[in-house]
Amino acid sequence: MTERAPGFATLAIHAGAQPDPTTGARATPIYQTTSFVFNDADHAASLFGLQAFGNIYTRIGNPTNAVLEERVAALEGGTAALAVASGHAAQVVALQQLLSPGDEFIAARKLYGGSINQFTHSFKSFGWNVVWADTDDVASFEAAVSPRTKAIFIESIANPGGTITDIEAVAQVARKAGVPLIVDNTLASPYLIRPIDHGADIVLHSLTKFLGGHGNSIGGIIVDAGTFDWAGSGDKYPMLTQPRPEYHGIRLHETFGNFAFAIACRVLGLRDLGPALSPFNAFLILTGIETLPLRVQKHSDNAKAVAEYLSRHPAVAAVNYAGLPEDKYHALARKYSPKGAGAVFTFSLKGGYDAGVKLVSNLKLFSHLANVGDTRSLVIHPASTTHSQLDDASKIKAGAGPDIVRISVGIEDKEDLIADLEQALSA
C-alpha cells in the first residue's frame, strides 16, 4: 500500500499540531510560561545534555513555538526549523552558526533595505564581511567566492519587489563553492516558491509578513533543509563539526544528522544570543498560516489586477511586476512561481519623486507604513523610508530609486483598490 501524501493546504492546518495531550484542546494552546518542571534530576540532566526531547525554558524552546516550527518546516519541505523574535534575528542566528570573525558571505544586492543595513554595518562589528553580488548576474556570485566565503544569501522574490532570483543557478555556485545557500523566502511564502526544491540549504522568513499575514506579530524563522554536508566540510563550520565545550564536547552534526543546523541555531544561537519568540506571537502567526494558501493566492491575483491597471495608466512610467508578460522577470516567475508573482511590487511615476509623495498622501484605502504582507493594502516610498539610509547609487542598485513607489497589495476587493489608485492618481 502506498501512503497518500497530504497536500499543502492540509499541512498548513495540521502540520505540527495535534490535540493537546492533557486537555484535548484542538486549537494549539498558548503555553505562556517561562519554564517547565523536570520529572527528576536525571530528566533535568538529560534535557540540558540534549539527550532527551522536551522543554526546559522558553528562551530555548516552547511547545507553542514548536508547533509553528514544525508547521513551517513541513510547508518548506525542510527537516526542522527554529522560530525567533524577528526576521532580522533569524539572519543573525543563522549566520552566527556559519561565520567566524574575518569570514565572508556573499549577498545579492537587491535585498530588503533593513538587511542591507544589517549586513553592511551591524555585522561589521562581528567581523562578518558581506561581499555583494548582482542578483541578475550569476557570474558575479561566482566571482565573489573566496576561501573565506561561508555562505551565499539571496531573496527568492527580492524586496522592494519585482525581482525573481534564479535560485537554481545560484545554488550551483554555492554547491561548487562548498557553502550553504541561504534563501530568504519572505515575499513568496512557501505557497508560491519552495526554495529547498530548487537547491536552498537554509530558508529564512520574516514571519511578520505573509506567513503571519495579519500585520499583528513580529517573528522570524530559520528552516534547515537537511541537505548540506557538514561532515564533508572539514573544519570549515566548527559550530557544527567541532566538539562543543558548551555541551561537554558533543559534535552536533554527528548527533543530530540532517537537522543539526537547526539544533545549532537553537542550542548555540538562540540559547546564547537570546532573541526568543513570544508564544503568544507564535499562536497568532500559526492562526495566520492556516489560511496561507487562500490568502497568498488572493494577494497574488489582486496584485496582478492592480499591476495591469497601473501599467495602462498614463501617469505611470513603469511597473516592475514579474506577473506581467512584458516584465523582464516574467520567465523566471513562470518557472519558480507559477501560481502568481506575489503581492509586493514597485512602480514609478512620470512625475518623479514629487508625484510619488503626492500619490502616497492621496491614497485613502492603502495604508502608508513600513510593512508588507498584511491583509490590508500598504504603500510606501522606499527612498525616503525603508531604504533611506542607503546612498543614492545604492538605492538605485537596490531597486529603490527616488521615483519608485512600493505597494503590498492586500486581499480587499480589487475593484476598491483600483478605484483608490484612480482617485489618488487623478487628484
Partner 1 sequence: MNHDTYPDDYIRGILNGVKVIAMVGASPSEIRPSFFAFKYLVQRGYDMIPVNPGHVGKSLMGRPFVASLADIGRPLDMVDIFRSSQHIMPVVDEALKLSPLPKVIWMQLGARDDAAAEKAEAAGMKVVMNRCPKIEYGRLSSEISWMGVNSRTISAKRAPIPTQGMRLSLNRTSVGGGTTAAADRAAKDRSDPT
CA distance 228 to 231: 9
CA distance 396 to 387: 10
Residue with smaller CB distance to partner 1, 127 or 232:
232
Residue 398, class by beta-carbon neighbours within 10 Å (0-12 exposed, 13-18 middle, 19+ buried)?
buried
- Enumerate residues 234-253 that contact partner 1 by CB under 8 A: 247-250
User: If binding is defined by CB under 8 A, does position 28 make contact with partner 1?
Assistant: no
Who contacts 224 (Cβ-Cβ below 8 Å, separation ≥6)? 73, 78, 79, 80, 81, 202, 258, 259, 260, 261, 262, 265
Q: In the complex, what is the shortest distance from the CB of residue 10 to partner 1, in angstroms, rounded to a whole number?
A: 7
- Out of 58, 64, 80, 183, the only residue in the binding site for partner 1 (CB under 8 A) is 80
User: If binding is defined by CB under 8 A, does position 225 make contact with partner 1?
Assistant: yes
Beta strand ranges found along 283-393 (DSSP E): 316-320, 344-349, 367-368, 378-380
Q: What angle do CA 419, 424, 377 make, to 5 degrees?
A: 65
- Out of 12, 28, 63, 344, the only residue in the binding site for partner 1 (CB under 8 A) is 63
With cell 550569476, the residue in question is 138
Tell me the per-residue interface mask from 278 to 317 with partner 1, x by CB under 8 A, - otherwise. ----------------------------------------
- Out of 32, 35, 51, 423, the only residue in the binding site for partner 1 (CB under 8 A) is 51
133 forms beta bridges with: 108
Count of residues touching partner 1 (by CB under 8 A): 65
- Out of 227, 241, 300, 377, the only residue in the binding site for partner 1 (CB under 8 A) is 227
User: If binding is defined by CB under 8 A, does position 2 make contact with partner 1?
Assistant: yes
With cell 513580529, the residue in question is 218
Q: In the complex, what is the shortest distance from the CB of residue 344 to partner 1, in angstroms, rounded to a whole number?
A: 28
Residue with smaller CB distance to partner 1, 77 or 275:
77
- Enumerate residues 116-175 that contact partner 1 by CB under 8 A: 175
User: If binding is defined by CB under 8 A, does position 19 make contact with partner 1?
Assistant: yes
Residue of 180, 155, 181, 190 whose CA lies nearest to 71: 190
Supply the angle between the helices 87-96 and 113-120 in degrees, to the nearest 10: 40
Residue with smaller CB distance to partner 1, 126 or 247:
247
Binding site for partner 1 (CB under 8 A): 1-6, 10-11, 14-16, 18-22, 24, 39, 43, 46, 49-55, 61, 63, 65-67, 69-70, 73-74, 77-83, 175, 196, 225-229, 231-232, 247-250, 254-259, 262-263, 266
